Chains A and B, each alone.
Chain A
Amino acid sequence: MRDPENATVEVELPADFDDFWAAGLADCASDPLDPVLTEMPTLSTDTVIVYDLRFTSFGGLRIAGWYAVPRAGTAPYPGLVTIPGYISEPTVPKEWAELGYAALAIAPRGKLRSNDVFNPGYPGLLTHNIVDPNTYGYRGFYLDVVRAVEVLLDRPDVDNLRIGLQGSSQGGGLGISTAALLPDAIRCVAAGAPYLCGIMTAPTLTRSYPYEEINEYLRIHPKDVDRVRETVAYYDGLNFAPKVQAPTLIYLGLEDDVCPPETGFALHRTLTCEKTLHTYPHCAHHAGLPDVMRVVEDFLAEHLTPGR
């Protein structure tokens, strides 16, 4: 019988972990963000203005997002970056703008509208160049979310002291990595059913995708297991977690077959910041949806004070 709360999930911390990510951030910084916003009248409503946003990220790739701001109230608004799941596309974040946020739903590389140059597909992203941390497909993907925050930091209609991150599954995992890479910029993180934590342990606990992609990769490349382990250690949320300074909300489904709860508990244990954990018995990857969204909204409102 599994005991997710007390299970051991270990990830080795690469000696050059900080240098690795510092180099990636430095590479990004060499390119200007060059954000371009285009108003989308048909997507806008009486209460929300929607823009198509494009900006430059790691490797010079142009990355897309949907940016939605409230018509009511007075800028600057609190900023919120919403991060998509593995197989989902970012939806236009009107519901967050209606709550008073300047909300950016990012489409990191490989997602539609950001896949002209890099398009590993789904399945595919999780194991794309997984034997080499420097060329692993997720490297630019992680940095794209960082760059999305930097876009908001530069926006005159965003209060750069009130920027938060929200997402579930992949969005939860990248909320953790982004908050760790930008500890001075992020005020709070809401991370549901976090993916990309305990990356080598998770495929031993489930046969569900996307982690099953790793089992499939190793089925035909069994000799690569050490190189895969070495690569994903640079991307594992458990190695980012101690660097997160922002208050963090974690919520888990205790029967999550996609992101095993063992890995979510391990993330919570590893976080040293102010943290809150909600667990939902009999829930799988929805991790308490739809009711948990009220918890998320309250958490974000407490730290980002929309409507202030």
Chain B
Amino acid sequence: MLTPQKTLDTYYLEARRDLLEVAAMLDRYDRSVEKEGKPAADESKLNSLLEALALLSKKDHPESNRAEQLLVHFAKVS
């Protein structure tokens, strides 16, 4: 296993990229809503993503199981 510092140094840029993709996807949705003049009929996927982000932003995850929690969370969306 990598050291804590090496873990951050190794994966930071990839995580940054992935978060930027999520941010861009949410911006894309907003612009689409603005253009269409109305939101998607079913926004459950959007809400699921926003809830997932909130889950990730919680500081303490004593079991280090964020990925597992997200998979359980996403399973609620069909």
Q: Do A and B bind each other?
A: no
Interface on B for A, CB 8 Å cutoff?
A: none
Interface on A for B, CB 8 Å cutoff?
A: none
